[in-house]
Amino acid sequence: MTTANLARGQRAPQKEHGPRRHRKHRRWSSPATVLSIVVLAIAALWAIAPSVFAPEDPYTGLDVALLAPSGEHIFGTDAVGRDLFSRVVYGARQSLLGALIAVAVGLVLGTLIGLIAGTQRGWVDTVLMRLVDVLLAIPGILLSLSIIIVTGFGSLQAAFAVGMTSVATFARLARSQVIQIAGADYVEAAYGSGATQAQVLLRHVLPNSLTPVLALAALQFGTAILQLSILGFLGYGAPPPVPEWGLLIAEGRDYMATAWWLILLPGLAIVATVMSANHLSQVIQQEGDVK
């Protein structure tokens, strides 16, 4: 690295060697990773354009109720004759959009808190981290229910509540990354060249702190889907007859012995999406560890 590059806070360009490049290609081309990407892509397409994939209106009952899965209705029908596959497809929009909102809330607020705590230090860091410790001490589902009781019931309120449960986790991770990177040579060189604190944070500290945070965001996306499904199952999410994955399972619990597909098939959609998001988060984290 030249002195000029060091003064601008730039890292020396590094070429990926053969073994490292091979490991990177192997991670992204592995069957588990490809399958995870396909599952998330299908779920995203369901959420973006559900009418393209859903064969029936998810709100309109058909002639036959509690029809087992068949060639005509691959997921069967529910207790009022609605096509279950169509309701699962339309439910992807509620579940995935809610999870995105939840992750955005946790990512933005948590990263901001961690950035402030990691750069200011002193009493500011102490106060913010004690508040984070308080949030971490409260069980996530209890905190979500408490927020929903205050803000009211609904899918948006549930998404905000789930997002607040992850703020503390994002804050601690962002703070640790900021403290680690703030002591790097290229950051000190940027300060020595006359850059302000805001310029250093935006150009050097924040971009180089994002890989672990983004890996956590991918992991939290799956966790948010699971938490929103739990809240929907308990009746704190989207109101009936809106299709939502957790609510679909709640609607089928009274028919568990006679209509197993009402619980199993929406549950499989949740499990597949959550596991795919968790696997991709591990791949992203491994990319950051290699770098």
Q: Read off the CATH number of the domain in which 261 is found.
A: 1.10.3720.10
Q: Tell me, what's the pLDDT at 1?
A: 45
Segments in the chain below pLDDT 70: 1-26, 288-291
Is this prediction's pTM over 0.85? no
Does residue 137 belong to any structural domain of this protein? yes
Q: Tell me, what's the pLDDT at 4?
A: 44
Does residue 66 belong to any structural domain of this protein? no
Does residue 166 belong to any structural domain of this protein? yes
Find out whether 163 and 98 touch, Cβ atoms under 8 Å: no
Does residue 230 belong to any structural domain of this protein? yes
Does residue 153 belong to any structural domain of this protein? yes
Q: Tell me, what's the pLDDT at 3?
A: 39
Find out whether 213 and 177 touch, Cβ atoms under 8 Å: yes
Cα→Cα distances 51→36, 56, 60, 88, 176, Å:
23, 8, 14, 12, 44
Give me the residues paired with residue 83 across strands: 77
User: Measured in whole angstroms, how far is the alpha carbon of residue 130 from the centre of its chain?
Assistant: 25
Look up the domain containing 185 and give its range.
85-289
∠ CA 29-169-161 to the nearest 5 degrees? Answer: 100
State whether residue 69 is helix, strand or coil: coil
Cis peptide before 69 (omega within 30 of 0): no
Q: Could you give the number of structural domains in the chain?
A: 1
Kindly state the helix (H) or strand (E) to which residue 148 belongs, with its residue range: helix 140-151
Does residue 9 belong to any structural domain of this protein? no
Does residue 218 belong to any structural domain of this protein? yes
Kindly state the helix (H) or strand (E) to which residue 275 belongs, with its residue range: helix 261-290
Q: Tell me, what's the pLDDT at 188?
A: 72
Does residue 195 belong to any structural domain of this protein? yes
